[in-house]
Amino acid sequence: MKRIGMVFAFEYMGYLKNKTFRVTTVVLLAIIILAAFFPQIRGAFQKITSGGDDGNDMALLIVSGEAASGESTSFANADALTEITVGYEWETGDVSDDPKEAVAEEGYDVALVYDGGASYRLYGSSYDFGLYGLIEVLDSYFTNADRETALRDLSPDARSAAEQVLGITVSGEIVSVSGADAGDGADAGTNFFLSYILLYLLFMVMIMYGQFVISSVVNEKSTKAMEILITSAKPIQLMFGKVLGVGCAAMTQLLLIIAAAVAGLFLNFGNWKEQMPDIASGIESTNLSPSLVIFFLLFFAGGYLLYAFIYAGLGSTVSKIEDAGAVTTLPQIFVIIAFFISVFGMTNLDAIYVKVLSYIPFFSPFIMFARVCMGEADYLHGVIALLILAPTIILFAWLAAKIYRIGVMMYGKPLKLKEIFKIAVARR
């Protein structure tokens, strides 16, 4: 145990002192902080791309037909529209203007033809998805304006009655029913955003830090440090110390990133709310309970350990980092499959294959975590998956130690997976 601690400390400090590791951390932090300021950056970027003006799309309003003459349609004017439509700068066109031409040739992004009555026509590029939002805004603006005009013509009594009628609104509230058999499941739907982020972190850790474990093992072989090491400590101590050391280095990096992300979002949340309301409300509605945090840490640690031991065992059989790919592809495919099932399965967590896979150790850190996080499975199922995961980790640590013991002294041609398997199951 003491030796595992020494190896751990040596490995961990090695990462903290390592220049590449530090630079990567700083770069990642910079990216995260930039991302937290995404709304402002996007705004600035739009200003630049739209040629120095305030970044608004140009829109042409053509009032024609009976609306053109009537005083009652004065609400259809460019200033009013510019006010209510975010991101559009309206200009008033002439009745004789051709809206198609205006969009196709004169540099307008949209053209609106309003001739009174219950309909108007919006001309624009079919690739412009902004039109769907715009038409919603315009619909309600014209509807309200029409109604107000109509109300003005009524007698006072009739007007107040109508106003009452129009004032009735009904609004709905979403009540989640998944994770049915207890209140202790996390809140589905609202946690979609959180699940996605955490799953992505998990995926990154398994792939990136798994690579750290492998290169650390292979490096000791290729620099020939291994022989000194395995005559100074037991292979299993070296392997555990290394896996934990890399794990903690990973944790340190991750916590820094998470802290930067949280701090960045917190400081800048006003801008997110204003500019990207969908994501902001996703973040606001996230329900991060303490038990969910514990689950995340357990699945995170369990998943990391399981894959790290596999990587360490397999990595010990190669002597050059270039050869590492040959043995690590298989576990990496497992990680990728687990990640994609958990991400794509998030909308369909009821599917039987998702349920089954969520108990299988190689997948459970992703899939069961997703299910718990989304409130699809209650905590009991999460605990069961963890109870299956734990002995699997021990089994694979044991197998990996056996491979490690023999693998570290093997130089030359990398072993095939079949040969490695033979070593793992051999009696001595």
Partner 1 sequence: MIEVSRLTKNFGKTRALDSLNFTVKDGVAFGLLGRNGAGKTTCIRIIMDIFRADDGRVTIDGAPSYKSPYKIGYLPEERGLYQKRVILEQMIYIGRLRGLSAREAPRKARERLEELEASEYADRKLDTLSKGNQQKIQLAIALINDPDIIILDEPFSGLDPVNAGLLKEIVRKQARQGKTVIFSSHQMAQVEEFCDDICLIDKGKSVLEGNLERIKKSYPRNIVYFEPGADWAGDPIPSLRSSMGPSVRDVCARKSGYLVTLASPDDRGALLRALGEIGVVPEAFMVQEPTLEEIFIGKVGDDPAKEGAPRGDADSEGGKRSRGGLFGRAKKDRSGKIGSSERGKRS
Q: Residues in the site for partner 1, rule: CB under 8 A?
A: 3, 6-7, 10, 14, 18, 219-220, 223-225, 227-233, 409, 428
For the sheet with 110-114, list strands across it: 88-92, 57-63, 110-114, 120-124
Of the pair 122, 230, the CB lying nearest partner 1 is at: 230
CA distances from 109 to 58, 76, 151 (A): 5, 18, 34
Minimum distance of partner 1 from residue 226's CB (angstroms): 8
Minimum distance of partner 1 from residue 225's CB (angstroms): 5
Q: Count of alpha carbons within 13 Å of 242, Cβ hemisphere only?
A: 34
Minimum distance of partner 1 from residue 88's CB (angstroms): 58
Contact 226, 220 (CB under 8 A): yes
Interstrand relation of 110-114 and 57-63 (parallel, antiparallel or unpaired): parallel
Minimum distance of partner 1 from residue 233's CB (angstroms): 5
Q: Report the C-alpha gap between 101 and 89 in whole angstroms.
A: 18
Of the pair 49, 231, the CB lying nearest partner 1 is at: 231
- Report the phi/psi class of residue 270: left, alpha or beta, with left for phi > 0 and alpha for psi in -120 to 50: alpha
Of the pair 371, 405, the CB lying nearest partner 1 is at: 405
**Which residue reads 């739209």 in tokens?**
50
Classify 91 as helix, strand or coil.
strand
Per-residue b or e along 168-179, where b marks 16 or more CB atoms closer than 10 Å to that residue's CB: eeeeeeeeeeeb
Minimum distance of partner 1 from residue 17's CB (angstroms): 8
Of the pair 232, 348, the CB lying nearest partner 1 is at: 232
Of the pair 229, 256, the CB lying nearest partner 1 is at: 229
Dig out the tokens for 337 from the structure. 């499959």
Minimum distance of partner 1 from residue 408's CB (angstroms): 9
Of the pair 224, 320, the CB lying nearest partner 1 is at: 224
